[in-house]
Structure 1
Amino acid sequence: MKGIFVACFLVSNALFGQKIIWNENVKLNWSNFKSKVNHRSGGNVVAYTNCGWAYSYVKSSNPKAPIEIEIQTVFNEDKSWKDTKRINDYVLLHEQKHFDVAEVFSRKLRKEVSEKIKTGADFDKYFQAIYNRILREYQNFQKAYDGETRNGIVEEKQSEYNRIIAEELENYKSYKAS
């Protein structure tokens, strides 16, 4: 007997909002930021991007049977906010990079999952630890990104992060969603 199980991670765990699945050919625009509520307090916050990943899996009751796992990078429009009086293209690029970072860590998760999880038993034994570790790395990277760029204000640091993020996307390109 096969069962389908779905679990999601989003920065604020919104399951039924409007979502955009990450695609290298589709970039965010200001109309994607639909929340009326500023989810991050602070005077220097011009916009807030709610993104992360969602995963689903199909697992047999036979623990030795292969498992299918799908991981997608998502942007939650209903939880993403903008200050319409202060937005511009530069700020939008900074917010796009948050979404791109989520894709980098989705790819890292896909890589580890593909290397270490082949069966339902592997999933039960390893998935949560892998997921939690990569989630912490993701959160730490996002925090460092905003901290070092001061939410995109420090242009030199923003340029450095733009390069790092592009390199990481390239380094893990074989793990993009199919």
Structure 2
Amino acid sequence: MIRLLHTTIFSFFLGLSPLGEKGFAVNSPDRKTELETGSKDDYVFRIPNKNVCFSWEPNKRLSWSDFRGMPDRSSTYAATANTGISHTYAIDSRGYLIKKASRVYANFYPNLSWYVPKLINETTLAHEQTHFDISELHARILRKTIAEYRFTRNSKAEIQAIYQKVEKARKAMQVDFDRQTNHSVDRQKERAWEAHIAQLLHKYRHWAS
């Protein structure tokens, strides 16, 4: 019922191209995963399949078949969904962020998400879906912020600061959701949160991917 919240941002600057300096901000799963570099422009994870993910879609709800990880035996929770937001971007030769090249996604990591069949009930999956919806909400907020922000030649620092601010808000909302619903035990609060997140997704509907 609780998720792994921490999202790490890695930035790789691969030199000048015809557009200038390219940058990539890559969302990383919460479990410790080290990066190693291969050939030029090639980055691989040493732990296989941990970075497998799919993006939030408006007509796709999570199913238990999406949770492919092994349950944490030390945890008392029935399930955990590992979600996050990722952003890829490019910066031109003058140091300005190229907005048209910006890509933001809310992601779900199946191999880092799990459930215990004997502990789940009819509200558990809906609770985990709301956690995914919260990440999608903040992906939309990030898209809106980027579109409206007036970047300068210091775009590299500016975009990283924007990402970190949105990510901090995302993690805080995830914690509040679990705390106020008591990890889905409080059904009334659970329904209220589901309605609240649905309203916010509608509010930011123009910033859906």
Q: Report the TM range for the smaller structure's normalisation.
A: 0.7 to 0.9
Q: Which protein is richer in helix relative to its size?
A: 1
Q: CA RMSD in A?
A: 2.1
1:27 pairs with 2:61? yes
Partner of 1:38: 72
Q: Is the alpha carbon distance of 1:85 and 1:176 closer, same or farther for their aligned partners in structure 2, counting shifts above 3 Å?
A: same
Give TM-score scaled by structure 1 length.
0.88
Q: Retained in 1: the 8 A contact 2:68–2:110?
A: yes
Alpha-carbon shift at residue 63 of structure 1 (Å): 2.4
Q: Deviations over 1:37-91 (max 9, x none)?
A: 429x542x11101001111112222325734211011000011011121223310
Q: SS where residue 60 of structure 1 aligns? A: coil
The letter for the 2-side match of 1:54 is S
Q: Retained in 2: the 8 A contact 1:49–1:98?
A: yes
Partner of 1:58: 90
Partner of 2:38: none
1:106 pairs with 2:124? no
Question: Number of paired residues?
Answer: 174
1:48 pairs with 2:80? yes
Query: How far apart in 2 are the matches of 1:30 and 1:64?
Result: 43
1:9 pairs with 2:27? yes
Partner of 2:122: 89
Partner of 2:6: none
Query: How far apart in 2 are the matches of 1:161 and 1:76?
Result: 23
Q: SS where residue 119 of structure 2 aligns? A: coil
Q: Is the alpha carbon distance of 1:65 and 1:125 closer, same or farther for their aligned partners in structure 2, counting shifts above 3 Å?
A: closer
Query: How far apart in 1 are the matches of 2:130 and 2:167?
Result: 17
1:80 pairs with 2:113? yes
Q: Retained in 1: the 8 A contact 2:95–2:155?
A: no
What does residue range 88-167 of structure 1 map to in structure 2 within 5 Å? 88-118=121-151, 121=153, 123-167=155-199
Q: Deviations over 1:96-140 (max 9, x none)?
A: 000000000111111111111556x25224212211111111111
Larger radius of gyration: 2
Q: Retained in 2: the 8 A contact 1:117–1:127?
A: no
Query: How far apart in 2 are the matches of 1:66 and 1:158?
Result: 40
Q: Retained in 2: the 8 A contact 1:5–1:57?
A: yes
The letter for the 1-side match of 2:149 is K
Q: Retained in 2: the 8 A contact 1:33–1:77?
A: yes
Q: SS where residue 53 of structure 1 aligns? A: strand
Q: Retained in 2: the 8 A contact 1:116–1:122?
A: no
Q: Is the alpha carbon distance of 1:64 and 1:157 closer, same or farther for their aligned partners in structure 2, counting shifts above 3 Å?
A: closer
Query: How far apart in 2 are the matches of 1:61 and 1:89?
Result: 53
Q: SS where residue 8 of structure 1 aligns? A: strand
Where in structure 1 are there 5+ consecutive unaligned residues?
none
Give TM-score scaled by structure 2 length.
0.76
The letter for the 1-side match of 2:160 is Q
